[in-house]
Amino acid sequence: MNREQPLSHKKVRAFQPEKLSAPRDFFIPEVVQNTATKDDSDKLPLILEIGAGKGKHALSFAAVHPKKHLIAIERTRNKFEAFTKLFNQQLLDNLTPIHADAIAWTVHAIPPDSLASIYLLYPNPEQHNPNQQWLNMPFFEFLLSRLQVGGEVILATNIESYMDNAEQQALSIWQLPNRRHKVPSDNQRTHFEVKYLARGETCWQLTMTKPEGYKTRFDNWFAEEDSVNDKK
């Protein structure tokens, strides 16, 4: 990790990926391994969804975007089992479900500058522990290092205060160009979104874009490299 390079954001507290062990039954999907090859002719843009739940968005996204590959991570066992049951019925080649903690899995599996976009749809609002909200976490810097230039982080929530804080953090801390809008009332990306909109609630989306020349402390950091260095 290069700590001397000028950073593009104002987050002082640094994430410490070297302290995270790989998840249980960890493996790196072939589609991720292929991102390291030089031949771009047959590569699909790689998309990451964190907190996929029962897979409603993941399954519909993969079906509608056959030329993109989505990795959808869910930590909760019962939700993941429901997700994989539906996945096994559809057998989408461009979707990879992952049962793991998203932070540890991303640290050990995703190379720098490899994701075209990242979805954070209706995360736990953590109202009693705001430091665990995505844009308040030091891990968000690591996540940005995995995003390609021009790539997007898409955050959606029905809690206006969560969105207000995320928008403020995107601008003042992370220095990311962004746009905020209300989610259309007929959207049905997730079970939460369907429920909230059916109740007449307003849902919000914040789309953040990684600009050219954006620098983080983790642009050249990869877990496999550090593992090799630790053994020397």
Tokens of 12: 């002082």
Q: Pairing relation of β-strands 95-99 and 204-209?
A: unpaired
pLDDT in the model for residue 228: 35
pLDDT in the model for residue 225: 46
Residues 6+ apart with CB under 8 A from 162: 125, 127, 133
- Smallest CA-to-CA distance from 176 within 7, 2, 4, 51 is with 7
- How is residue 134 annotated by DSSP? G
Say which amino acid occupies 118: I
pLDDT in the model for residue 123: 96
What residue spans define the domains of the chain? 43-231
Tokens of 49: 């969804």
Per-residue pLDDT of the chain (232 residues; tens, 9 = 90+): 445 669 999 999 999 999 999 999 899 999 998 876 656 657 899 999 999 999 999 999 999 999 999 999 999 999 999 999 999 999 899 999 999 999 999 999 999 999 999 999 999 999 889 999 999 999 999 999 999 999 999 999 999 999 999 999 999 999 999 999 999 999 999 999 999 999 999 999 999 999 999 999 999 999 864 443 343 3
pTM of the model: 0.92
Alpha helices (H) in 47-113, listed in sequence order? 56-64, 77-90, 102-109
43-231: CATH architecture: 3-Layer(aba) Sandwich (3.40)
Phi, psi of 120 (to 5 degrees): -125, 85
